[in-house]
């Protein structure tokens, strides 16, 4: 915490100190002190434990709302020092509430009520105005609701409101959201129908037929004002073999992939091409070339070079480029052609990779002949042939290996014309591509439920209860309830940017604290009713060792505001220890098919990490209104971080954080003792009000175990101010030299 001022008295774990003192005195007097259990009884677990919690405010990131429902009486929520304040928990479905137990810290409420709500908006009191007290307080109440909150109106101390635990007890009044395993089994097949948005080609298919299909998909988007946030989805799958000239321009929500067990099983002569010049309103550059992908094939590029001028959420995985690869648009040399991606993994490029105008890029576990170029932040881990570590001149940050990897599951077709999903095995300290001879497990498609747009959350949960994995086909999925994954090693994957949209303020996807769940290829859109979280992994306060078989997330993308005028407090919450986060883009939209704005599509935090030993490789988080990444877990690691601060801050008064002007992009909690980040950039573009400033881009505790390497800030077009890079170190942008010049910190501390 910052040093106390005359108006903010010192505040160091007052309640915990009182407990320790009491125990010490008891020991001295020879009195046996019984341990205090977290729950009301050993066998009774609160309905609220581990559920999503939100609050009107927090004193700092060290005291989040989730700490009051984590079942740990040593962690707490604490508000800012003002009235009124509230803390609420989302029980997930309507419950009958009989009892609420509040374990107050010394900073308690002298006046509060307990309230319930069906929708998180309209509230009903189920207790009279009540006076709190330090310690445990039990209230017998009667009411029902999905949301329960403590609504504090008057503080008993100069501090805020602070609860070690907020426990809600009662009984379920609606059927459980996970259906029983009884009833007719859902159908599966080794040769499923993937739906009308998936085209499958084989070597005997006429080249003209393939070209007509890819042209039709792309030309419908050419300079279209609606395509960027449209409902169109296209997947082009190629069975093993060699294909004559195909020039595939790749637009929004389009995937081109091979169906071989190895990339070289499918060879395309021609190009899988992304360029600028086609996006409506942004024809001069490639900074909005989002949501497209290429996987599991080889390309013999026409003219010797394949172009992939993409930005966020546009991965290239498991690809063999038999020539050169350029990542910049064709018009990059005339003061135009900016690009702002991207992600490359598990691939081989026989020739030179030229990054050109790419402002930042992350490459992982690949092999290249040479890399040319670099603007601000180019990061490599486990890349054979990568340039040497030289940040900031040139701006290359290079790690010889990646600590832990598990490549993304992929669809392929076997020798009997049956479809299967291959799940690559875990690798440690990896370098180079995983193929050929990738270690892993092959799962037949009959062990998957193939979901299609129109499927309900209940039907999808029924498939999970049946013991099936999930395979989402392209399209949008309206979900009025949470999809809950509770079985270890479940695979949840999708092709063609299937998009999950919660419609009831619910969480879209919840992963239990179990080993080895793999989630990949899924996009989340916040719905019009605010969701406390869009996806959570594990349970808050539970620290199970998953190191031998971690949960992994790959190519998972989140949006608040798109074609939907969405709202969400936090998009991704990771509670489970050892989780691998491999390429996500969490984006509070600065533009969309629906209107966007400071009060229109609100979102506080993109990524919340409470788990220990969590690794993020390729972390893109942009435009959230408070701390964009909050890292509470210990021994966390991030390799590559890209951020833009919110564009639309209306004025400075609307954006004051716990430690001054604005909120850092990347916040490591004050109690963390071990954390590492390599290659992180945060950019400001306060175009609504250029006088806005943020005091720092990275906010971390000053400890030797917390280390940042190769971090920078930029004021894009010199619009808006970031006063320092890390804490009070690094200097301000706009840099006095102008011309969008970055500030760099090579190492901190």
Considering only CA atoms, which of 312, 279, 253 is closest in space to residue 453?
253
What's the CA gap between 61 and 326, in Å, rounded?
41
Tokens of 605: 């935090």
- Furthest-apart CA atoms within the chain: distance in Å: 91
Q: Which helix (H) or strand (E) holds 258?
A: strand 254-258
Q: In what order do the strands lie in the sheet with 440-444?
A: 410-413, 419-424, 440-444
DSSP-assigned states of every residue in 586-646? EEE-SS-SS---TTTS---EEEEE-SSS-EEEEEEEE--SS-SEEE-SSSEEEEEEEEE--
Tokens of 580: 């691998």
What's the CA gap between 662 and 689, in Å, rounded?
13
Q: What is the 3-state secondary structure (H, E, C) of 396-410?
A: EEEECCEEEEECCCE
By the 8 A CB rule, do 292 and 310 touch?
yes
Alpha-carbon distances, residue 311 vs 221, 357, 610 (angstroms): 17, 11, 29
Tokens of 728: 């009070």
Place of tokens 């570590």: 389
| Residue 18: φ, ψ to 5° | -65, -40
By the 8 A CB rule, do 726 and 745 touch?
yes
Considering only CA atoms, which of 10, 54, 210 is closest in space to residue 602?
54
Q: CA geometry: angle at 125 spanning 124 and 131, to 5°?
A: 155
Which residues carry out catalysis? Answer: 644
What's the CA gap between 187 and 197, in Å, rounded?
21
Q: In 3-state terms, what secondary structure has residue 93? A: strand
What's the CA gap between 616 and 584, in Å, rounded?
9
């Amino acid at each position: 915490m910052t040093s106390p001022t005359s108006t903010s008295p010192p505040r160091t774990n007052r309640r915990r100190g009182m407990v320790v003192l009491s125990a010490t005195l008891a020991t001295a007097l020879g009195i046996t002190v019984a341990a205090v259990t977290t729950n009301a009884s050993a066998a009774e677990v609160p309905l609220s434990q581990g559920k999503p919690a939100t609050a009107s405010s927090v004193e700092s990131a060290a005291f989040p709302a989730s700490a009051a429902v984590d079942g740990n009486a040593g962690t707490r929520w604490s508000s800012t020092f003002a009235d009124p304040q509230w803390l609420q928990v989302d029980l997930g479905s309507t419950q009958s509430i009989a009892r609420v137990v509040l374990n107050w810290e010394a900073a308690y409420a002298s006046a509060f009520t307990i309230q319930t709500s069906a929708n998180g908006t309209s509230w009903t009191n189920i207790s009279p105005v009540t006076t709190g007290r330090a310690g445990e307080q039990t209230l017998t109440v009667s009411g029902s609701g999905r949301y329960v909150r403590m609504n504090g109106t008057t503080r008993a101390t100069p501090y805020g409101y602070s609860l070690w635990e907020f426990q809600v007890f009662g009984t379920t009044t609606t059927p459980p959201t996970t259906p029983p395993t009884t009833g007719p089994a859902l159908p599966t097949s080794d040769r499923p129908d993937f739906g009308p948005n998936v085209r499958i080609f084989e070597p005997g298919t006429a080249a003209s037929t393939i070209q007509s299909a890819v042209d039709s998909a792309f030309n419908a988007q050419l300079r279209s004002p609606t395509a960027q946030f449209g409902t169109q989805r296209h997947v082009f799958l190629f069975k093993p073999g060699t294909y004559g000239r195909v020039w595939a321009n790749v637009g929004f929500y389009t995937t081109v992939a091979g169906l071989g067990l190895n990339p070289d099983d499918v060879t395309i002569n021609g190009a899988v091409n992304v360029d600028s010049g086609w996006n409506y309103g942004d024809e001069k550059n490639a900074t909005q070339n989002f949501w497209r992908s290429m996987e599991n094939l080889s390309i013999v590029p026409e003219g010797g070079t394949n172009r992939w001028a993409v930005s966020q959420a546009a991965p290239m995985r498991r690809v063999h480029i038999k020539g050169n690869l350029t990542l910049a648009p064709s018009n990059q040399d005339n003061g135009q052609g900016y690009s702002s991606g991207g992600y490359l993994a598990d691939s081989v490029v026989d020739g030179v990779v030229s990054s050109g105008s790419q402002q930042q890029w992350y490459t992982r576990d690949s092999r290249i002949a040479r890399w040319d170029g670099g603007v601000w932040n180019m990061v490599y881990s486990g890349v054979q042939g990568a340039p040497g570590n030289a940040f900031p001149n040139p701006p290359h940050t290079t790690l010889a290996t990646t600590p832990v990897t598990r490549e993304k599951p992929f669809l392929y077709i076997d020798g009997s014309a049956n479809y299967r999903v291959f799940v690559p095995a875990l690798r440690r300290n990896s370098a180079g591509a995983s193929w050929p001879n990738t270690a892993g497990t092959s799962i037949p498609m009959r062990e998957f439920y193939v979901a299609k747009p129109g499927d309900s959350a209940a039907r999808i949960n029924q498939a999970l209860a049946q013991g099936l994995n999930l395979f989402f086909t392209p399209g949008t999925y309206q979900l009025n309830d949470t999809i809950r994954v509770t079985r270890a090693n479940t695979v949840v994957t999708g092709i063609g940017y299937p998009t999950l949209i919660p419609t009831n303020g619910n969480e879209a996807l919840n992963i239990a604290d179990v080993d080895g769940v793999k989630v990949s290829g899924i996009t989340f859109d916040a719905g019009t009713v605010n969701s406390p979280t869009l996806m959570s992994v594990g349970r808050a306060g539970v620290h199970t060792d998953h190191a031998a078989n971690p949960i992994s997330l790959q190519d998972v993308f989140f949006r608040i505001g798109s074609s939907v005028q969405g709202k969400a407090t936090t998009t991704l919450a990771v509670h489970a220890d050892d989780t691998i986060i491999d390429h996500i883009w969490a984006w509070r939209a600065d533009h969309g098919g629906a209107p966007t704005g400071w009060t229109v599509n609100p979102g506080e935090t993109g990524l919340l990490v409470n788990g220990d030993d969590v690794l993020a490789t390729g972390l893109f988080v942009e435009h959230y209104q408070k701390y964009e990444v909050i890292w509470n877990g210990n021994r966390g690691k991030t390799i590559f971080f890209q951020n833009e601060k919110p564009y639309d801050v209306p004025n400075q008064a609307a954006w004051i954080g716990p430690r001054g002007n604005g909120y850092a992009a990347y916040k490591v909690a004050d109690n963390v003792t071990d954390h590492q980040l390599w290659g992180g950039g945060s950019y400001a573009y306060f175009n609504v009000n250029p006088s806005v400033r943020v005091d720092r881009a990275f906010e971390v505790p000053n400890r030797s175990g917390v280390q940042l390497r190769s971090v920078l800030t930029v004021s894009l077009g010199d619009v808006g101010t970031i006063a320092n890079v890390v804490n009070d170190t690094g200097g301000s942008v706009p840099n006095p030299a102008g011309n969008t010049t970055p500030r760099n910190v090579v190492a901190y501390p």
